[in-house]
Chains A and B, each alone.
Chain A
Amino acid sequence: MSLLRQSRNILSNLRAKSLAKRLMHFKFEPDNPPTNLGPTENMNYLKALTNAMDISLENDPTAIIFGEDVAFGGVFRCTVGLREKYGNDRVFNTPLCEQGIVGFGIGAAVAGSTAIAEIQFADYILPAFDQIVNEAAKYRYRSGGLFECGKLTIRTPCGAVGHGALYHSQTPEAYFAHSTGLKVVIPRSPIQAKGLLLACIRDDNPCIFLEPKILYRAAEEEVPVGDYTLPLSQAEVLREGSDVTLIGYGTQIHVLKEVAELAAKDGISCEVIDLVTILPWDADTVCTSVSKTGRCVITHESPVTGGFAGEVAATIQKECFLNLEAPVERVCGYDTPFPHVLEPFFMPDKWRCLQAVKNVVNY
């Protein structure tokens, strides 16, 4: 029975198109490698992460990596080769207990170890929510600076992959954005991933490092092989423009880059900003840009209500009120759990973002 004969609605027709095209709602374009960081090598996102952890374990004898299945290389192959190189006592598996993993990580960090914990999917970080929000984030504050777990970094794959459904697609940045004491970082590319992971590991605050899993193999760049870090809490202007500011992070940046290209065809000049760090976020760069352009579209995969775009929008309207030509637009996921087969409707794809751009321009 041919598939086309059975199908009567559009979704079924979409299946006839190539799976790759349907799966990826964005196009990854590699950045040019920085020229001042020495020789580079072609690496994808996950190899960049492995490289960063390799450097970290090499230079810091107290660094340890632990999590579910990390010893053999991890379910996404982010820790391949590290156990062989550094031994079982530095790269080891934990049982299936997220709350235990994070709690254990906090303890190891406060006792002086550079603890790099992996939570297998960001959707599973919720059993550990209490440990992260109540224990890790507040340790320094409640002890008046006597104790802190700044050496803890929690890495976790997040984001939509096309078929993840409810529990393999979430990006929980909004829940953690609400807990000061933490740093929340989400890199968009391999060069960013390596530099930011090294920065997080070395940062003296507990960090949550969200890795958009769809980029693990889809994103390949020439990544500097040496040791380098990228600054946290600094948003990056990826494309200069004068009409609209587009703000996003993670995978969504690649959607925005394409939106900017599409908008340019209609004569709209877009400025694209990657927030990079969600908490503490760089309000200055964002507000400077929006004051210049007067229009803003913020986008993320997570649901719109209570999503981080609200925080950005509120700040923008306060700081840039007199410069705004149109209300700040948010293009985010639906206020529903992450759907199973209806995912393409849920995602804030390039067409929806482009529509938002046109809305603000034509306001």
Chain B
Amino acid sequence: MSYNATAKFLQRVLCKQPLGVRTYSVEATFPIKPIDTHKLENTPATEVQINKDDAISYYTKMQIIRRMELKADQLYKQKIIRGFCHLYDGQEACCAGIEASLTPKDDVITAYRAHGWAYIRGVPVCNILAELFGRKLGCAKGKGGSMHMYSKNFYGGNGIVGAQVPLGAGIAFAHKYRNSDTVTVACYGDGAANQGQIFESFNMSQLWKLPAIFVCENNRYGMGTSVERASASTDYFTRGDYIPGLRVDGMDVLAVREATRFAKEHAVKEGPILMELVTYRYHGHSMSDPGTSYRTRDEVKEIRQNLDPIMNFREKIISAGFVTKQDVATIDAEVKQHVENETAKALASTEPDFDQIACDIYVTDTPLSIRSCNIYNQLHHQPSV
């Protein structure tokens, strides 16, 4: 949802029934797992404070992402979504936690597992789903698909592994150039951590002290290859070498939030920092991957039962007295309905018109012909609509 729509939605949720809380809490403190550091003198806090509104907001957003991804799974199996679809469920705490410490003026760029990020950066669920379906209502007009979703201050959505990280360094340069106290978060995965261009980005960022937070979303498997089999060093937070690093429990939204707060402070003052989020994805690499040929079902089940970010956060906010079990159930039902409504909206949209095939290729003042299948049938390059 856009920020306004989220606010309205939360208002409805918060003000609906009297939230029958036995204890009326507005703030709570939680401990977080110790964060490993690399070449850092200061460390992030070991206890975090959170207020009720934020707690409900994080919970709701994570739940929306979860529902949206499960919906995408369902629609993929019905062949309404086709092609490549990489789902983010299990990793919700990463994007929600990072976003919690960013402002709308900070930039984010990530790879192809982008649906959660697109949502958290402000793209409404119906636009995400429509993009998956390849419809006009999609955030990239239906021309990009699952891997190419964009929004203001969200640079996608990139297909080639690792290619987004140098872009992140470039965007960080722009922030520094403009003297704003904002940062760029460039995400990549444990598989991409072995790409050469990642190290090129590290070098440039450190040399020029760019305000970049490099986030390695380590979900332990690069497609079907476990981290031990792909990387000589699996301490991804140290692989920036001269760039300081943090290793954070990526299944705890509060830990991620605290680490990002710390990282942003560092990035703005000192320069780049690397943040490894240890997380997990429940689905396979993509919808073509059952996700069980390289890991056991028991492993997935165990993580779902013990480390699920949404479940654990739910327990926290109930124990803190922010909400009751009933309130949470209400939120869950509202979220479910919301996703259903958005799905219906997305399904109602139609595919892009044929003209779109020759649109958005160049920026040009003079008329430009695009040759088509038969070179006699020229299309005219359309201005972006």
Which residues in A have some Cβ–Cβ distance to B below 8 Å?
1, 6-9, 11-12, 19, 68-69, 72, 75, 93, 95-97, 99-100, 123-124, 126-127, 162-168, 303-305, 329-337, 339-342, 345-348, 352, 355-356, 359
A340→B196 contact, CB < 8 A = no
Pick from B51-59, B178-186, B220-228 the stretch touching chain A: B220-228
Tell me which of B143, B160, B347, B379 contacts A340 (CB under 8 A). Answer: B143
Tell me which of B143, B293, B351, B375 contacts A11 (CB under 8 A). Answer: B351
Tell me which of B142, B196, B371 contacts A341 (CB under 8 A). Answer: B142
* B window 130-161: CB within 8 A of A: 134-135, 142-145, 147-148, 159-161
A331→B373 contact, CB < 8 A = yes
A340 to B83, CA, bound (A): 9
A335→B371 contact, CB < 8 A = yes
B83→A165 contact, CB < 8 A = yes
B358 beta carbon closer than 8 Å to chain A = yes
Nearest-Cβ distance from residue B35 to partner chain A, whole angstroms: 26
- Check A355/B82 contact, CB under 8 A, given A69-B224, A342-B354: no
B374 beta carbon closer than 8 Å to chain A = yes
Tell me which of A68, A331, A336, A342 contacts B352 (CB under 8 A). Answer: A342
Could you pull out 9 A-B pairs where Cβ atoms are within 8 angstroms?
Answer: A69-B223, A93-B230, A127-B197, A163-B83, A167-B147, A330-B375, A334-B373, A339-B143, A359-B374
Nearest-Cβ distance from residue B164 to partner chain A, whole angstroms: 13
A339→B83 contact, CB < 8 A = no
A68 to B376, CA, bound (A): 42
B84 beta carbon closer than 8 Å to chain A = yes
A96→B229 contact, CB < 8 A = no
B6 beta carbon closer than 8 Å to chain A = no
Nearest-Cβ distance from residue B220 to partner chain A, whole angstroms: 14
A248 to B222, CA, bound (A): 37
Question: Could you say which residues of chain B place their CB within 8 Å of the CB of A100?
Answer: 194, 196
Q: Which 4 A-B pairs have the closest CB atoms?
A: A341-B134, A167-B159, A163-B83, A95-B194
Which residues in B have some Cβ–Cβ distance to A below 8 Å?
79, 82-84, 134-135, 142-145, 147-148, 159-163, 191-192, 194-197, 222-225, 229-231, 293-294, 344, 347-348, 350-352, 354, 356-358, 361, 370-376, 379
B352→A334 contact, CB < 8 A = no
B370→A95 contact, CB < 8 A = no
Nearest-Cβ distance from residue B199 to partner chain A, whole angstroms: 11
Nearest-Cβ distance from residue A161 to partner chain B, whole angstroms: 9
B195→A335 contact, CB < 8 A = no
Tell me which of A9, A166, A329, A333 contacts B159 (CB under 8 A). Answer: A166
Question: Could you say which residues of chain B place their CB within 8 Å of the CB of A68?
Answer: 223, 225
A39 to B212, CA, bound (A): 62
Tell me which of A96, A163, A166 contacts B148 (CB under 8 A). Answer: A166
Nearest-Cβ distance from residue B355 to partner chain A, whole angstroms: 10
A340→B373 contact, CB < 8 A = no
A342→B370 contact, CB < 8 A = no
B142→A340 contact, CB < 8 A = yes
A69 to B159, CA, bound (A): 18
Question: Could you say which residues of chain B place their CB within 8 Å of the CB of A304?
Answer: 371-373, 375
A96→B191 contact, CB < 8 A = yes
B160→A167 contact, CB < 8 A = yes
